[in-house]
Chains A and B, each alone.
Chain A
Amino acid sequence: MLEVQNLSMRFGGLLAVDQVSLDVNEHEIVAIIGPNGAGKTTVFNCMSGFYKPTGGKILFQGKEIQGTPDYKISRLGLVRTFQHVRLFSRMTVVENLLVAQHRHLNTNLLSGILNTPNYREKEQKSLDRAAYWLDRVGLTDMANREAGNLAYGQQRRLEIARCMVTEPRLLMLDEPAAGLNPAETKDLNRLIISLKEDYNVSVVLIEHDMSLVMDISDRINVINQGRPLASGTPDEIRRNDDVIKAYLGEA
C-alpha cells in the first residue's frame, strides 16, 4: 500500500535521512524505531508531505506522492499525528471531530444559511460518526468540554479519533505512547490493534516504548543515524546484533 524507496533528505550539509526504504501492506502495523536523532520523524515528515524529499520515491497505492503538499496527501487517506498533541484546544471535543470531517461535508455557504435538508443530513451524519468515535475511545462524557482541558492520555486518544473520522487508509502515529502511564499505554495498545482488525486501517508508528512496539507490530524497521539498520519481525529485531549494538553501544 505504501512503499518508500531509497528516501533521502538533506538539510544543507546534513544528510538527515540516507537511502531509507520501507513498505507497508494492507492490514499491517509497521514500527519505525531507532535512537533519538536517527531521522525517524524526518521520514514521517517526508511521507506526510511536510518536507519535499531530496531523493527517492514514495508510492501510496501505486501513486508517487513525494513532494505533494500535505493537505492533498491527507485527502488521499494518509493521516498523521505529531509527537506533541496538536488538538484544537479551545474547541470542544466533539467540535474537534466535526471539523476534521469538514472536507467530507462539501456544501456551500448558502445551503448552511438556508439550512437545506441536504445540509442537515450531512451534519447529522458527521455528528453520528463523531459520537461513534467518542464512544470508541471512551470520551463520550467529555464531548462538550474544551479539548485543552482533557487529561493528557485523553487528548492522545482524541487525536486518534480525530484521525479516524477522516476515514484514512493509513495512519501515521509519531510516538503515540509518549507521556502515557502503563495503563494508558495498554489501552492505546488495544486501540491500535483494533484499528487494524476492525477498521482495516494500516498503521505506521514511531515509538520508543519497546514493549508496545514488540506487542503490536507486524514488522519493525530500525533506523540509525539516518540509515536503515535492520528490518524484520519483532522476533528477528530482538535477536539482531546490530540493533542491540546501536541501542546499547558497543562493548
Chain B
Amino acid sequence: MSEASLYFIQQLVNGLTIGSTYALIAIGYTMVYGIIGMINFAHGEIYMIGAYTALIAITGLATLGVSWLPLILIVALVCAVIVSSAMGWAVERAAYRPVRGRHRLIPLISAIGMSIFLQNYVHLAQGSRNIGFPLMIQGGFDFGGDDTFRGSISYMQMTIFVTTLICMTALSLFISRSRIGRACRAVSQDLGMANLLGIDTNRIIAATFVIGAALAAVAGLLLGMYYGSIDPLFGFIAGLKAFTAAVLGGIGSIPGAMLGGLILGVSESMTSGYISGAYKDVVSFGLLILILLFKPTGLLGKPEVEKI
C-alpha cells in the first residue's frame, strides 16, 4: 500500500473513532428533541459528569488496590452510567418538566441555565484545572507501512468502536422491539394521543432522558481515556459537536444521529490530516451552516408535512 493511501486510512480510522463517540452523545440530543421538541443544552454536562464519575471510580479502585483492568473498567462504566442517568432524570424533573408545554424559548433558557449550573458545580467540586485520566488501554497494532510511516489502530480505538457498536445495537433493538421503546415512538409521534391511550407519558419522557444520559456517560468514559485528561469544560465543546452531528443527520432521527456523528468525525480528522488541526472546528461548524442552509431537516430527517 502506498503511503498516501495508508495515511488516508489512518485519518479515516481516527475520524470514525471520534465520530462514533459524537454519535453516542448525539443520540441524547436527538431522542429528547424527537419526543418533546426541545434541545437539551445540559446534555454535554451530563456527558462531562459521566467522565468525572468514571475517573473518581477509577481513582477509588486504585487506592483500594484493585488492578485487574476489566473489573476497573466495568465498575467505572457502571458508576458513570448510574450517576449520569440519575442526573439526566433529575435535570428533566427539576428544570424541564415544570416548564414543558410553555413557549419554546422557556425550556431552552432553562436548559442553558442548567448547563451553566452543572459546569460551575463541577468547577467548585473538582477544581477548574484539567485532571489527568489514566491511559489504561495502551498499545495497538499496525496494519501496514514501513519505517517512515505506519498505519496503526490502537486498542483504545478498537475499544471505542466495539463499545459504541454494542450500545447502538442495544439501543436500536430497545427502540424497535421493547415495550418502552414502542411507547417512546408513540409519544414522539403524538404525545396527546399517547396520553389519552393511558400511556404514562411523563415516565416515557423521563426514560428518554435517562437513556440519553446513559449513552453520554459511556461516551464520557471512552473519550476521557482517549484524550487522557478532563476538565469542567470537557462537555461544552463535545456537546456542541454532538448537537451539530444530530442536526447534520436530521434531529429527531436516531439513525441520523449515528450517521451525523460519523460524518462529522471523519470530516474533522480529514481536515486535521490534510489541512491543519486548527481548522477542524471551522469545518465542522461550517458543515452545520451548510446543512441548515441547504437541507434544514438534515440528512435523514423527514420534513414535517402539514396535513390540511
Contact with A along B158-198 (1 / 0, CB 8 A): 00000000000000000000111011011001101111111
Contact of A89 among B189, B196, B198, B200 (CB under 8 A): B189
**0/1 string, A139-163, CB within 8 A of B gives 1:** 0000000000000000000000010
* Interface assignment of A136: CB less than 8 Å from any CB of chain B: no
Tell yes or no: B201 within 8 A of A by CB: yes
- B193 in complex: contacting residue of A88, A102, A103, CB < 8 Å: A88
Q: Is the CB of A109 within 8 A of B199?
A: no
Residue in A79, A90, A102 whose CB lies within 8 Å of B199: A102
Q: Which residue of A lies closest to B176 (CB)?
A: A95
In the complex, chain A residues whose CB is within 8 Å of the CB of B199: 71, 99, 102-103
* B198 x A112 contact (CB < 8 A): no
- A-facing residues in B196-211 (Cβ within 8 Å): 196-201, 207
From the candidates A75, A80, A88, A107, name the one contacting B186 in the complex (CB within 8 A).
A88
**Interchain CB contact under 8 A, B190 and A86:** yes
Task: Find out whether the CB atom of B197 lies under 8 angstroms from the CB atom of A100.
Answer: yes
Q: Which residues of B contact A84 (CB under 8 A)?
A: 307
Interface residue SS majority, chain B: helix
Q: Which residues of B contact A89 (CB under 8 A)?
A: 189
A105 contacts the other chain (CB 8 A): yes
CA of A80 to CA of B196, assembled, Å: 8
Q: Which single member of B180, B195, B197, B201 contacts A112 (CB below 8 Å)?
A: B180
Residues of B within 8 A of A221 (CB): none
Q: How far is the CB of B187 from chain A (nearest CB, A)?
A: 9
| A48 interface residue (CB < 8 Å to B) | yes
Q: Are A103 and B200 in contact (CB under 8 A)?
A: yes
Q: What residues on A are CB-neighbors of B185 within 8 Å?
A: 88, 90-91, 95, 99
- The reply to whether B198 and A99 contact each other, CB–CB distance below 8 Å, is no
B207: chain A residues within 8 A (beta carbon): 109
- Whether A23 is near chain B, meaning CB under 8 Å from some CB there, is no
Instruction: Judge whether A202 is part of the interface by a CB distance below 8 angstroms.
Output: no
**Beta-carbon contacts under 8 Å, A49-98 to B:** 70-71, 74-75, 79-80, 84, 86, 88-91, 95, 98
Residues of A in contact, count (CB < 8 Å) = 27
- Let me know if B182 and A95 touch, CB within 8 A: yes
- Residues of chain B lying within 8 A (CB to CB) of residue A90: 185, 189
- A90-B189, A91-B185 are known contacts. Are A70 and B195 too (CB-CB below 8 A)? yes
Are B179's CB and A71's CB within 8 A? no
A71 touching B182 in the complex, CB below 8 Å, given contacts A79-B196, A88-B193, A89-B189:
no
Chain A nearest Cβ from B301, distance in angstroms: 13
Interface Cβ pair total, 8 Å cutoff: 70
User: Whole-angstrom distance from the CB of B94 to the nearest CB of chain A?
Assistant: 21
Q: Which residues on the B side are within 8 Å of A71 (C-beta)?
A: 195-196, 198-201
Query: Taking each of B178, B192, B194, B198, which has the highest tally of chain A beta carbons within 10 Å of its own beta carbon?
Result: B198
In the assembled complex, A166 has its CB within 8 A of some CB on chain B: yes
Bound together, the chains give a CA A84 to CA B196 distance in angstroms of 15
B contact residues around A80 at 8 Å (CB)? 196
Q: How far is the CB of A166 from chain B (nearest CB, A)?
A: 6
- The distance in angstroms between the C-alpha atoms of A162 and B196, with both chains bound, is 11
Q: Give the docked Cα–Cα distance between A148 and B13 (Å).
A: 40
Are the CB atoms of A112 and B178 closer together than 8 Å?
yes
Q: How far is the CA of A192 from the CA of B200 in the complex (A)?
A: 28
> Distance in Å from the Cβ of A156 to the closest Cβ of chain B?
15
Check if A123 is an interface residue, CB within 8 A of chain B.
yes
Is A102 in contact with B197, judged by CB distance below 8 angstroms? yes
B186-A99 in contact (CB<8A): yes
The answer to whether residues A166 and B197 also contact, given A86-B190, A90-B189 and a CB cut-off of 8 A, is: yes
Closest residue of chain A to B210 (Cβ to Cβ) is: A109
- Which residues of B have CB within 8 Å of A100? 197-198
Nearest B residue to A77 by beta-carbon distance? B198
B197→A99 contact, CB < 8 A: yes
**Please, how many angstroms separate the alpha-carbon atoms of A74 and B186 in the complex?**
16
Chain B, residues 233-269, CB within 8 Å of chain A (1/0): the string is 0000000000000000000000000000000000000
Complex CA distance for A75 and B307, rounded to whole angstroms = 30
Chain A residues within 8 Å of B200, by CB: 71, 103
Report the bound CA distance from A71 to B192 in whole Å.
9
**Min C-beta distance of A104 to chain B, whole Å:** 8
Give the Cβ gap from A149 to chain B, nearest Cβ, in Å: 14
Residue numbers in B under 8 Å from A102 (CB-CB) = 179, 182-183, 186, 197-199
Provide 14 A-B residue pairs closer than 8 Å at the C-beta atoms, listed in order of the A residue. A71-B201, A74-B195, A74-B198, A86-B193, A88-B189, A89-B189, A90-B185, A91-B182, A95-B185, A98-B182, A99-B197, A102-B182, A102-B186, A107-B179
Question: Which 5 pairs between the two chains have the least Cβ-Cβ distance?
Answer: A103-B198, A99-B186, A71-B195, A100-B197, A88-B189
B residues near A (Cβ < 8 Å) are 178-180, 182-183, 185-186, 189-190, 192-201, 207, 307
Besides A75-B198, A88-B190, 17 other CB < 8 A contacts? A48-B196, A71-B196, A71-B200, A86-B193, A88-B186, A88-B189, A88-B194, A90-B189, A91-B186, A99-B194, A99-B199, A102-B198, A103-B199, A107-B179, A113-B178, A123-B179, A166-B197
